[in-house]
Structure 1
Amino acid sequence: MSRRYDSRTTIFSPEGRLYQVEYAMEAIGNAGSAIGILSKDGVVLIGEKKVTSKLLQTSTSSEKMYKIDDHLVQSLCDTKQGYTQFGGLRPFGVSFLFAGWDKNHGGNYGGWKAAAVGANNQAAQSILKQDYKEDATREEAVELALKVLSKTMDSTSLTSEKLELAEVFLTPSGSVKYHVHSPDSLTKLLLKHGVTQPAAESS
């Protein structure tokens, strides 16, 4: 039945549904989880890595976390919006979490104190609604992000190879810093917050 109404993004079904948009949302749900949490002194971003090969050079590549210019953010949002307004164009099957620091809040925008996208995002949103605190520090936000991901990922135990963790915050000098945690730093955080098992010692 849906085949009569899913050829274009501008054709509504009798139930008022846009199937092409729903297909794009379904594609997003198949991606790895990503979570963003706002704290009183910064923003914490964490993402699940799907590609975990030992041959991958992690020092120069990233699966989910990228530092980009604010002009690219604006241009990308304009492009995504355009694909929802013109017929014959498939909407992007992708979702983004943008984190930034700006004193001038001019223009029209919407911000979230905590958000989750990707696989099991509904379960992640439910935990965030229950446990999020507006006065949380960055360290507490990191703990919450790890907790949420540990409860929503399909893996039984989190490891540094399966995660990417980044923080955006203001330095004492007033500049905005984007910091990505190394695998060693991630391992220490996972052990500290009890969401992974220490490696077994070889006899």
Structure 2
Amino acid sequence: MTKPRIALIIGSTRETRFADKPAAWLLEKAQARTDIDVELVDLRDYDLPLFNEVASNMWAPSQDPNVLKWQKKIAEFDGYIFLVAEYNHSITGALKNALDQAYVEWVHKPMAAMGYGGVGAARAVEHLRGIGVELQMAPIRHAVHLGGGELMKVHPMGQDGPMSEVDEVLAPSATAMLDDLVWWANATMAARAEDQAKAA
């Protein structure tokens, strides 16, 4: 069986976002592994409108070309890691909109998350998991949470140090998350292949 292809999706599009620093750190961790192929997917590159289709693509084909481009990209992957900023106890509007702009592409694939914020985006990650369930994804337990004093070591509003300053604290969580994600990606790939064979 081929290695799972995983998207690391940056969930913030603000010009002044902090996301790029933890994204680069997590991408390096993921790409150091030999059991998955990981690609960075940046919502900035898709210029998605606010959801304006007649229905989810579970029920009707989407029409907007930027939405179709997004769906085509998402369909390439066997699982997802969402890089989550916490806005008012939830995920960003940009990420919620991106999730809503697809459906069939997400189904029966695992999802993981790395969150950053005052409490490591724990509340936003919990919201994300609920959305994932409705999109028929398989949210995994393990996540990476960058918060509190560790966040201030690397955030521009704090000491703005390199991610190496918090690597010792975060690396075990990243390993546990990626191990879990690989297991679920392999399991769901096998199940989807079996479904496709039965339907053929």
TM range (shorter): under 0.3
The TM-score normalised by the length of structure 1 is: 0.27
Q: Which has the higher Rg, Structure 1 or Structure 2?
A: 1
Greater relative CO (CA pairs within 8 A, separation 6+): 1
Bigger helix fraction: 2
